[in-house]
Amino acid sequence: MGSIDRSKRRSSQLWKKALVHFAMCFVVGFFTGFTPPSTATLFERRPVSSIGILPAAPVEAVERVVERGAPVNRTLAEITSTVPAAAVRDDPPPDAEASETRGPQPPSRRLLIIVTTTRSSDRFLGASLRRMAHTLRLVPPPLVWLVVQAHADAAATAPMLRTTGVMYRHLTYKENFTDPGVEADHQRNVALSHVEYHRLTGIVHFAGASNVYDLRFFDEIREIEVFGTWPVAMVSENRKRVMLDGPICLSTKVQGWVLKDLSSDKRLLVASTELNPKPPKINVSGFAFNSSILWDPERWGRPTSLPDTSQDSIKFVHEVILEDDSKLKGIPADCSKIMVWHLYTPSVIPLPFHYQKLRSEGK
């Protein structure tokens, strides 16, 4: 009997221990369900501070509109992009001493400042901007895209820009223009004023919305110290023409300028009589320059100010280009490759011939 009592007592103790353990596990699990998930990880997470391609996020657009009569070199009209403030700041210009202490960046890390102007009459603007955005997304950072547009047209473009995944700034203005050329220069001045005001140090290039690029081109222009230039192929589909506009170079030194029709002569044989000492016309798509020349011209051997250029940055850039070819670097070496194509698109798409015939017959 004594052994049976001891076995019953031992089994009851085991059941009590099992019940206690079960109860403890149940209570711990119950209260664990109310605790927030742990963010601890075995790997250290570090914030990314470099300027690059950032994913777009829906944010409310904030505008600062150019006031009529305000000086051009301080006029800003910006719809802020989805880039965090830490990436591209809108702070006041930094002190010159602070900028000097940072020192120049290596060419591979230079900021590319791509400026694109727009026309209200461009029926393909949306498609052209999206194509340009797809190109810029493939360019290694750092890069910022400045899109300049009339204030009345900006609201339609802003949602598309937010979805491109490219770091951008949307600049607007309220002035009205009847001359497309004058308006384009005004847009470039708005962009250059923004660059100067915010001390965006990098390489500025005016990229037309209809331009097509070889991606190696962007690596080449990062090597520019002062000014760079290259040949541009201008393609007109409706006229069946291809024009070459740009420099003829020996290594990286500019020897002269040529504007030649390649429609019938694709070998590009340039006679000495076709070579011009100065570019016949400034093609802004064929030039890039170091932005610091806008606020520190003496560093590049220029006087502090010039008559009639203090409020006209693009005119100042044109004068520097025409004044001294020695500051220009030919890209690529010997200017031997076409890396930029400018496509001329008609403002109105012509109807095919059979549709034109039906319309003339009133059918």
pLDDT for 124-135, tens place per residue?
899 999 999 999
Predicted pLDDT of residue 79:
37
Burial of 267 (0-12, 13-18, 19+ CB in 10 A): exposed
Instruction: Give the C-alpha distances (Å, rounded to integers) separating 5 from 1, 16, 17, 43, 300.
Output: 6, 17, 19, 58, 105
Predicted pLDDT of residue 200:
96
Predicted pLDDT of residue 316:
80
Predicted pLDDT of residue 347:
58
As a whole number of angstroms, the distance between CA 323 and CA 302 comes to 11
**Cα 77 versus chain centre, distance:** 17
Residue spans of the chain under pLDDT 50:
38-91, 94-101, 305-310, 351, 353-355, 358
Burial of 112 (0-12, 13-18, 19+ CB in 10 A): buried
Predicted pLDDT of residue 360:
55
Predicted pLDDT of residue 355:
45
Residue with tokens 């319309």: 359
Of 339, 350, 119, residue with least CA distance to 211: 339
Q: Are 115 and 97 in contact (CB under 8 A)?
A: no
Predicted pLDDT of residue 327:
81
Predicted pLDDT of residue 27:
74
pTM: 0.68
Instruction: Give the C-alpha distances (Å, rounded to integers) separating 75 from 149, 188, 219, 260.
Output: 14, 12, 31, 39
Predicted pLDDT of residue 348:
54
Tokens representing 15 are 């059941």
Question: pLDDT digit string (tens) for 204-252?
Answer: 999 999 999 999 999 999 999 999 999 999 998 776 788 889 998 988 8
Of 193, 197, 147, residue with least CA distance to 167: 147
Q: Walk across the sheet containing 143-150 and list its strands.
A: 63-64, 78-79, 168-173, 143-150, 111-116, 202-206, 287-290, 227-229, 328-330
